[in-house]
Structure 1
Amino acid sequence: MNTQTIDKKSQILWEPAEKDMEHSHLQAFAKSVNQALFPYERLHRWSITNIGDFWSSVWDYASIIGEKGERFYLQGESMADAVFFPDAQLNFAENLLKGKDKQIAAYQADETGVTAKITYHDLRTQVAKAQYGLKQLGVKKGDRVAGITTNNIEGLVALLAATSIGAVWTSCSPDFGAKGIIDRIGQVQPKVLIANLTYQYKQKPFDISDKVEETIRQIASINHVITIAGELPNTITWSSLLDNDAEKPQFERIGFRDPLYILYTSGTTGLPKAIVHSVGGTLLQHVKEHQLHCDVHEEDVLFWYSNTAWMMYPWLVSGLASNASVLLYDGAPVLPDNPTHLWDIAEEIGLTHFGTSPKYLDSLMKADVVLKDQYPLTSLKSILSCGAPLVAEQYDWVYETIKEDLYLASISGGTEIIGCFVMGSPVHPVIRGEISCKALGMAMEVLDDRNAPVYGQKGDLVCTQPFPSMPLTFYGENGDERYRNNYFAERPGIWTHGDFAEQTIDQSFIIYGRADTVLNPGGVRIGTAEIYSVVEQIEEIKDSIVFGLPCENDEEIVLCVVTDQLTKDLAKHIRQQIREKASPRHVPRRIYQVNDIPYTVNGKKVEGAAKTEAIGNEVKNKASISNPECLQELTDIKKKECY
């Protein structure tokens, strides 16, 4: 046995038990298609070689309700032209509302704890009433229904009611500013707006009536406004919308490629892109990910901490299609007086799958939380993480302080595909710092500058074969052209996702950050995640952001840190740690102290905006940043004191 094999084994933090693999969806699926489960790489190759058969088998395995048709996949002139299930007819909401009458469909919780729960029977009834109310307002197939909604039962009912008719759902979170809301839903000309007038965050109540009224004034297409938790003049209250005798929803089946959702990119470099996703593509991608990769079973309880603007909200909602229960949470993840509030809720409802972000796990690490000392977590099977790379030390922390027998999966995908490219699986061991495998049906590679696949080297993450959840288009003028230019212009016929990544010889993955924020000192490409993974382990550092600045035909690395006091000694320690744990090339030339780090409203660091501000240019769309005031500290940063 060679040294590399020994080293790899020492990095294994968890391995599935034989009984768990035998009872996994992935094992059952492999048997259903007469394919061997191991080696997994062979099963994966089958899934991207027999594209139509694979996705047809996902439809059958997940018991999708609808007419599948005889044709499953039509190859196009290019990847973007491929068509899936051209003859299929189905309804999204019908597939999410098939659970048993008495089973809990959704738990609702906020900063006070669990506040409500609803069975599948009662959820169907509420959807029927909301559907009837929307039809009375003239909503029909293809109309856009927009929500400024919190992550609660009313928001879920609104989404399902709209999609049961064949309407298109699009939503923003109430914590967006008025401009951020209008920049998004204003593009798609909604007929109806459903809005929460209040929300709470970090134990503070917020009234957004003024923002909603401004939105109504600015978007001329809105014919009707339905308000939740409050009233406005000339609007309809949620309770009056549901005040009818309807008991069972009527589901309008529509085409596989008919639009379902419109999601928005962060929009920090301009107007957010309005990405149109299909009914069938979204549903098939999500049931595949939930069942085959996350191993979500009937009556499991699935959660992802998300607001209603992020793609993980519709991803969570689709958990209903696997007959699971979902936890809808509205509020801050960490409360000032209780950093483990979400785990109180998880323990109370028997949560099985906890979806979160590295930033949240880091906040618990820095608070020295040891969850296994406080909670039995007997129901918890899996922790899932996305939004940024999960660093190796966070893998260690999860197993040391939460639970040893746990399937931890870092996953990576995007709003653009409303799903994942690379994921974990219930039959793979968990290797610290690595994403376990390519998702089935996703033909992933890492390409170098020659466009050749590479292993053990960093390059661009790409997808080389079509999949059903590719966008239909970007909404608006020249939408098809803008869509193709974003993902296929760099490598015609190949989806270039924009992640800087490495594929190991075992076909696991390491994500180093976004390719457009990759550092390039001395012509060597460095992912920002490589620096964060070191800096975030330094006790004195509360947060950080790194970017590159032009310097004499080269680029120098700039690191900004949030800390109580940046001193020469601390700066020296930071550089030593980066030199030892990353490399001398990763060491920042300049280190600055700042009070805050810019984040999008979805909780992602905005390195591009930080760099734009630092070189003295204006950030075009500050409405996409949750704390734009902090950018002032970065303006012309070279003129300020550094270490």
Structure 2
Amino acid sequence: MVQFARWLEAEGKAYFLDPTDFGELQAWSAANPGDFWGAVAAFFNVAFETPPTVSLGDESMPGAEWFPGSTLNIAEHFLRRDDEATAIVLVRDDGTRESITFRELRRQVGVVAAGLADLGVGTGHRVVAYLPSSIEGVVAFLATASVGATWAQTAMDYAAPAAADRLAQLEPTVFIVGTGHTFKGQVIDRREEAAALRALLPTARHVITVPTAGLEPAMADTSTWADLVSGPRSMEPVPVSFDHPLWVLFSSGTTGKPKGIVHGHGGALLEQLVLAGLHVGLRDDDVFFWFTSPNWMMWNAQVGGLLVGSTIVLYDGSPAVPTSDALWRVAAELQVTVFGASPGYLQLCEREGVDPGKEVDLSRIRTVGITGSVLPPSGNRWVREHISPDIQVASLSGGTDIVGIFVASAPTTPVYDGEISAIALGVSLQVWDDDGKPVEPGVAGEMVITRPMPSMPVSFWNDPDRSAYEGAYFETFPGVWRHGDSITVTERGTVVIHGRSDSTLNRQGVRLGSAEIYAAAESLPDVLDSLVVGVEQPDGGYWMPMFVVAAEGSDLEGLPDRIKARIREQTSPRHVPDEIIIAPALPHTRTGKKLEVPVKRLLLGGDSAKVLSAGAVDDLTALNWIIDFVEQRA
């Protein structure tokens, strides 16, 4: 980060009173988006086949014009390192592992790209995959990008109809499909589900089967991965325009059919370089491990570690098998330097009494990255006490919308418990009230982005008039990106995220953040999970129930009072729920997010079939319990 600031000064692009002051660098980057992103491209040696005329043409949102006239291919940048160092390690929770070197990765991508081209795949086509976290998935993605086609995938825990809700929208030409995955030490056979999904993708003229989790393919009339990866020729990446569609990621689909969010080669490249190369500070001697899934944008961000020459570690399976410290043991064995997970994993470790800092050697870890939901202050304390007080807890937030970050830490920022360290580079972030006016530091409001970023979506899929895209981000404040998060920027420039603004609790005109209620309730060892919503009543009243999953052996009779007392003690009386409802389990999105908005809509009388897509939920039994509860309550 400091090297970048000093380089800006040496190149005459900017001047800083103190190049080690992240706030000064961030303020310059936000005020000068064209200069900043052009500097990122130059600093990281982005290889333009056709150079741009300017970094930023039309700056209006939506529709800002980035690097007009330029051509490049992101795959070329992923494949720059060409040696025998390890590029990717795949770890399964049954103990098996695979790896590939940078040189072999480069060879396989070139050969698979040529094979796809021989099948007639090129610009304007889509390649989709139904795969677990796998080396083949990375190779197939890079090969797809190389030929100018567009990539999308789902993990194999999706049922065929849920996967088809996403992939079939793209009318793919090629379908790459695995056979199974591992979970809790067991091989999960998904060959029947894969065959069912194939039938739901009628446009796929070519099906390529990959023997994942040790299961041989069973479908007829398909090509094999082995044949594709041992093809007779190779090809180099094809230059495409800066905003040429690279990949399609999907919204959670909890409130309707998942939206396909299209990102371009250039925007994704620059965003990942800033995330991996500056904010995370990865180098070519780092080992980068983030516990994630192909269903989540963090899989794409983890693959981004290859852009700066880091070794990346993929994981297939449960994070708590054979024991709750399984991920930490992997980190120790592979000498991981940057480790990433969700707050839920830290909370699991805390509940289970895991003490990995004493059990294994984690001395190589310098950063623990956290995203996916709000990290309560107890998460920071747990890392200090059970890993090391010298490790930076790097909490960050962004989303599928940009496959990147809006707020994050940096190697040069301090850490405050319960807060995210800073606004990210290149992000012109403000906090507005409902009338579109900026609020003072320390006041909660809507998070908005007032200047464009190159990683903002190129488009939504099947949205020719851009009405869905513009409605999603620009309807509330024309010309300004409203992200949908309720946040506070403190006087010292840190960020507190209170939750989604459309699920913000509002008692007697006072907005309350659900995140701090969860932090208080889940600090009790008896509380495994919780969900709080605020429901407007027909008589003008306001009901704020909290669903709670209790630990086995808890005193259920006294638990509601203990939860209310803890919330009152750590927040305020206004934050205390009206009712505590003990549930056997709670559903989440498949990336672990709480379903506040759908549950609120159910409690308001919404039709469950319209409010929530069952295929987007991780636990159907838990979802059905909520639906039954709502019906009985009504």
TM range (shorter): over 0.9
Write out aligned runs for 1:383-532 (5 A): 383-454=368-439, 455-478=441-464, 480-532=466-518
Q: For the residues of structure 1 that align with 2:223 and 2:9, how far apart are their CA atoms?
A: 50
Give the secondary-structure state (helix, strand or coil) at the position aligned to 1:118: strand
Q: Which residue of 2 aligns with 1:596?
A: 585
Q: Which amino acid aligns with 2:520?
A: V
Q: For the residues of structure 1 that align with 2:141 and 2:630, how far apart are their CA atoms?
A: 48
Q: Which amino acid aligns with 2:181?
A: Y
Give the Å deviation of 1:510. Answer: 0.4
Write out aligned runs for 1:144-159 (5 A): 144-159=126-141
- Say whether the 8 Å CA contact 1:304–1:356 is kept in structure 2: yes
Q: Does 1:328 align with 2:317?
A: no
Q: For the residues of structure 1 that align with 2:314 and 2:22, how far apart are their CA atoms?
A: 34
Name which of 75, 87, 91 aligns with 1:109: 91
Give the Å deviation of 1:116. Answer: 1.7
Q: Does 1:208 align with 2:190?
A: yes
Once the two structures are superposed, residues 377-430 of structure 1 have per-residue CA deviations (whole angstroms, 9 ceiling, x without a partner) of: 121111111110111111111111111211211101110111110000111111
Q: For the residues of structure 2 that align with 1:178 and 1:304, how far apart are their CA atoms?
A: 26
Write out aligned runs for 1:177-256 (5 A): 177-229=159-211, 230-231=216-217, 232-246=219-233, 248-256=234-242
Q: For the residues of structure 1 that align with 2:362 and 2:556, how far apart are their CA atoms?
A: 42
Q: Which residue of 1 aligns with 2:569?
A: 580
Q: Which amino acid aligns with 1:580?
A: E
Q: For the residues of structure 1 that align with 2:254 and 2:195, how far apart are their CA atoms?
A: 25
Q: Does 1:162 align with 2:149?
A: no
Give the Å deviation of 1:374. Answer: 1.1
Q: For the residues of structure 2 that align with 1:93 and 1:510, how far apart are their CA atoms?
A: 36
Q: For the residues of structure 2 that align with 1:276 and 1:103, how far apart are their CA atoms?
A: 33
Write out aligned runs for 1:45-64 (5 A): 45-64=27-46
Name which of 41, 53, 57 aligns with 1:70: 53
Name which of 326, 339, 343 aligns with 2:324: 339
Q: Which residue of 1 aligns with 2:72?
A: 90
- Say whether the 8 Å CA contact 1:109–1:115 is kept in structure 2: yes
Give the Å deviation of 1:481. Answer: 1.1
Q: Which residue of 1 aligns with 2:532?
A: 546
The 1:249/1:101 distance shift into structure 2, 3 A limit, reads farther
Q: For the residues of structure 2 that align with 1:338 and 1:204, how far apart are their CA atoms?
A: 14
Once the two structures are superposed, residues 484-538 of structure 1 have per-residue CA deviations (whole angstroms, 9 ceiling, x without a partner) of: 0110000011100001110001111000111111111222211211110101101
The 1:30/1:504 distance shift into structure 2, 3 A limit, reads farther
Once the two structures are superposed, residues 174-199 of structure 1 have per-residue CA deviations (whole angstroms, 9 ceiling, x without a partner) of: 00011110100111111001011111
Q: Which residue of 1 aligns with 2:289?
A: 303
Give the secondary-structure state (helix, strand or coil) at the position aligned to 1:211: helix
- Say whether the 8 Å CA contact 1:70–1:87 is kept in structure 2: yes
Give the secondary-structure state (helix, strand or coil) at the position aligned to 1:79: coil
Once the two structures are superposed, residues 443-486 of structure 1 have per-residue CA deviations (whole angstroms, 9 ceiling, x without a partner) of: 01111223222210111111000010010111004461100011
Q: For the residues of structure 1 that align with 2:317 and 2:427, how far apart are their CA atoms?
A: 34
Percent identical residues = 34
Once the two structures are superposed, residues 217-246 of structure 1 have per-residue CA deviations (whole angstroms, 9 ceiling, x without a partner) of: 222211111111132111111112223233
With normalisation by structure 1, the TM-score equals 0.93
- Say whether the 8 Å CA contact 1:103–1:299 is kept in structure 2: no
Give the Å deviation of 1:569. Answer: 2.0
The 1:265/1:313 distance shift into structure 2, 3 A limit, reads same
Give the secondary-structure state (helix, strand or coil) at the position aligned to 2:470: helix
- Say whether the 8 Å CA contact 1:550–1:556 is kept in structure 2: yes
Give the Å deviation of 1:100. Answer: 3.5
Q: Which residue of 1 aligns with 2:546?
A: 559
Give the secondary-structure state (helix, strand or coil) at the position aligned to 1:147: strand
Give the secondary-structure state (helix, strand or coil) at the position aligned to 2:544: strand
Q: Which residue of 1 aligns with 2:15?
A: 35
Give the Å deviation of 1:27. Answer: 5.6
Q: Which amino acid aligns with 1:269?
A: T
Give the secondary-structure state (helix, strand or coil) at the position aligned to 2:254: coil
Give the Å deviation of 1:79. Answer: 1.3
Give the Å deviation of 1:628. Answer: 2.1
Once the two structures are superposed, residues 421-441 of structure 1 have per-residue CA deviations (whole angstroms, 9 ceiling, x without a partner) of: 000011111111111111111
The 1:479/1:530 distance shift into structure 2, 3 A limit, reads farther
- Say whether the 8 Å CA contact 1:615–1:635 is kept in structure 2: no
Q: Which amino acid aligns with 1:85?
A: F
Unpaired runs of 5+ residues, structure 1, are 1-20
Q: Which residue of 2 aligns with 1:81?
A: 63
Q: For the residues of structure 2 that align with 1:113 and 1:471, how far apart are their CA atoms?
A: 38
Name which of 82, 107, 117 aligns with 1:135: 117
- Say whether the 8 Å CA contact 1:197–1:208 is kept in structure 2: yes
Q: CA RMSD in A?
A: 1.9
Q: For the residues of structure 1 that align with 2:104 and 2:153, how far apart are their CA atoms?
A: 24
Give the Å deviation of 1:616. Answer: 4.3
Q: Which amino acid aligns with 2:155?
A: S
Q: Which amino acid aligns with 2:57?
A: L
Give the Å deviation of 1:539. Answer: 0.9
The 1:102/1:639 distance shift into structure 2, 3 A limit, reads closer
The 1:112/1:29 distance shift into structure 2, 3 A limit, reads farther
With normalisation by structure 2, the TM-score equals 0.94
Q: For the residues of structure 1 that align with 2:21 and 2:97, how far apart are their CA atoms?
A: 45
Q: For the residues of structure 2 that align with 1:34 and 1:183, how far apart are their CA atoms?
A: 47
Give the secondary-structure state (helix, strand or coil) at the position aligned to 2:62: helix
Q: Which residue of 2 aligns with 1:290?
A: 276
Name which of 279, 284, 296 aligns with 2:265: 279
